[in-house]
Amino acid sequence: MSEASLLEMRNITKRFPGVIALDNVSLKVKAGTVHALMGENGAGKSTLMKCLFGIYSLDKGKILLNGKEVAFDNSKQALESGVSMVHQELNQVRQQSVMDNLWLGRYPRKGVFIDHKKMYQDTLEIFKSLDINIDPRSKVGTLSVSEMQMVEIAKAVSYHSKLIVMDEPTSSLTENEVNHLFKIIRKLQSENVAIIYISHKMEEILKISDEVTIMRDGQYIATKSAKELTTDEIIKLMVGRDLSQRFPQKINEPGDVILKVSNFTAETQPSFIDVNFELKKGEILGIAGLVGSKRTEVVEAIFGIRALQSGTIELNGKSVKNQSPQHSIKNGFALVTEERRSTGIFPGLSISFNSIISNLKQYKTNAVFLSDRKVAEDTKWVIDSMKVKTPSQKTPIGSLSGGNQQKVIIGRWLLTKPEVLLLDEPTRGIDVGAKFEIYQLINQLASEGKGIIMISSEMPELLGVTDRILVMSNGRVAGIVDTKTTSQEEIMRLAAMY
């Protein structure tokens, strides 16, 4: 194993509007080593790699490859310089063949024509070297997720890369597939290729890595030899901040069971399997988990967005079937989605329209027209009760701050009079002041007897707002803990269980 420094990232800073995503972060990777990059969701791991790969430009800092300063403007330049990345989200052309995907944009040619024979032979050669048993002529859409992952790794190798970034490469793999991936990694190491390995799975990290760098809240925390680390030490470095953030005093008192979810298994796998839990009236149940834990998928299945292979829902002791969002709304459920801008709002339309869109039938005076008076009354209720800062009801929602947009969305769903409110990352992208107001609102709604399920990637938020926390790990319920008696370490340990 070479001790040569292949990559140095020095003092990398990256800002987005209102957020410092990376704050003076440095990373040093030696040739022929596996360097793990760890941290909670939102720690800045993927952002740092996107800066390396030319997807994001740097605000400050420099990148050295083999001792020479580089600044990639795009991923093409990075690939041509021997830096490749296997993304967690696989962006493949599913209608095309495996070998088309492998050589897209750089087909071998015979004159002006594509040399399909050479492309086939070159693909076979790479697959043979990596012990991958996939027909190069197969359509990508017919492959399993793990096979798609192997194709992406083969593609990275086809660039003769000296540095390969793997972002959560095992999130959808079985144990045997993980072992196969590790064999490939060991082979690449023997050829002096460096691997940056992003994962939340502690045992994997300690098994495959030479060095581990920990990030937290966009900052560099430490780099240590994997041999020196234990799971507990990694967890402490990952979550080692105090809970000094302020949260409103809890005023809700959980009562009888309002919702029972039994034997929830997704129709399409890999996803969630055999999920069981209860929610009490007036309770705030948090859902914790790391990347790939399938938290959102479970909540979407409750709301009728995702199909189930098996599972039942009981609301107030009666069986309900949420086969679509329309059924769910009618049955007393509401969902505030994670991606506010893409799935939550109509940015160019007014606050008024965004307030009533989930409940249009209530405002119809006949088949065509809506009651302007009732629309204005309910929009006023949303603005007043949610404390939305806006010049008027006619203001386009897209011109409001993230916090005010979120308040409108929550108000919209409250107009449907739900009994169970599902919140997916309700404070993502919101400033601290607005977060506090959202927390107050959640607390108030629970005190009025609504059952609330809240997904969050922020550990302090879960510990500051919820009554109990359900921890997901790789599609399974790893445990349900009492917020008053649990710790960040216990939650992280459960999150990495499977």
| Predicted local distance difference test score (pLDDT) of residue 89 | 63
Query: Is 288 domain-assigned?
Result: yes
Question: CB-based burial of residue 231 (10 Å sphere; 0-12 exposed, 13-18 middle, 19+ buried)?
Answer: middle
Q: Which of 239, 270, 285 is the last residue of a domain?
A: 239
Instruction: Indicate whether 178 and 207 sit together in one domain.
Output: yes
Instruction: Indicate whether 92 and 222 sit together in one domain.
Output: yes
Helix (H) or strand (E) holding 432: helix 432-447
Which residue stretches of the chain have pLDDT < 50?
1-2, 242-244
Query: Is 244 domain-assigned?
Result: no
Q: Which of 182, 207, 239 is the last residue of a domain?
A: 239
| Predicted local distance difference test score (pLDDT) of residue 2 | 46
Question: Exposure string (b/e) for 12-26, b if CB count within 10 Å is 16 or more?
Answer: bbbeeeeeebbbebe
pTM beyond 0.75: no
Q: Which of 239, 271, 303 is the last residue of a domain?
A: 239
| Pick from 298, 226, 290: nearest CA to 266 | 298
Q: Which residues pair with 480 in a beta bridge?
A: 470
Instruction: Indicate whether 319 and 446 sit together in one domain.
Output: yes
Query: Is 388 domain-assigned?
Result: yes
The model's pLDDT over 171-203, given as tens digits with 9 standing for 90+, comes to 667 677 888 889 999 999 999 999 999 987 788
Instruction: Indicate whether 288 and 156 sit together in one domain.
Output: no
Instruction: Indicate whether 136 and 101 sit together in one domain.
Output: yes
| Predicted local distance difference test score (pLDDT) of residue 1 | 44
| Predicted local distance difference test score (pLDDT) of residue 438 | 85
Q: Residue 312 sits in a domain of what CATH number?
A: 3.40.50.300
Spacing of C-alpha 240 from chain mean position: 21
| Predicted local distance difference test score (pLDDT) of residue 179 | 87
Rounded distance between C-alpha atoms, residue 104 and residue 267, angstroms: 32
Query: Is 364 domain-assigned?
Result: yes
DSSP per-residue letters across 21-77: EEEEEEEEEETT-EEEEE-STTSSHHHHHHHHTTSS--SEEEEEETTEEE--SSHHH
Query: Is 247 domain-assigned?
Result: no
Instruction: Indicate whether 320 and 421 sit together in one domain.
Output: yes
The model's pLDDT over 54-75, given as tens digits with 9 standing for 90+, comes to 989 999 999 999 999 999 999 8
The model's pLDDT over 99-135, given as tens digits with 9 standing for 90+, comes to 998 898 888 898 889 989 999 999 999 999 888 999 9
What's the longest Cα–Cα distance across the chain?
76
Instruction: Indicate whether 81 and 202 sit together in one domain.
Output: yes
Query: Is 312 domain-assigned?
Result: yes
CB 271 within 8 A of CB 311: no
Instruction: Indicate whether 459 and 313 sit together in one domain.
Output: yes
Query: Is 409 domain-assigned?
Result: yes
| Predicted local distance difference test score (pLDDT) of residue 431 | 58
Query: Is 246 domain-assigned?
Result: no
Phi, psi of 105 (to 5 degrees): 85, -5
Instruction: Indicate whether 273 and 235 sit together in one domain.
Output: no
Rounded distance between C-alpha atoms, residue 109 and residue 45, angstroms: 38
Instruction: Indicate whether 217 and 279 sit together in one domain.
Output: no
Number of domains in the chain: 2
List Cα–Cα distances, 87 to 1, 42, 381, 470, in angstroms: 26, 16, 44, 28
Instruction: Indicate whether 354 and 443 sit together in one domain.
Output: yes
Instruction: Indicate whether 207 and 331 sit together in one domain.
Output: no
The domain of 77 spans: 5-239
What 3-state DSSP class applies to 156?
A: helix
| Predicted local distance difference test score (pLDDT) of residue 175 | 74
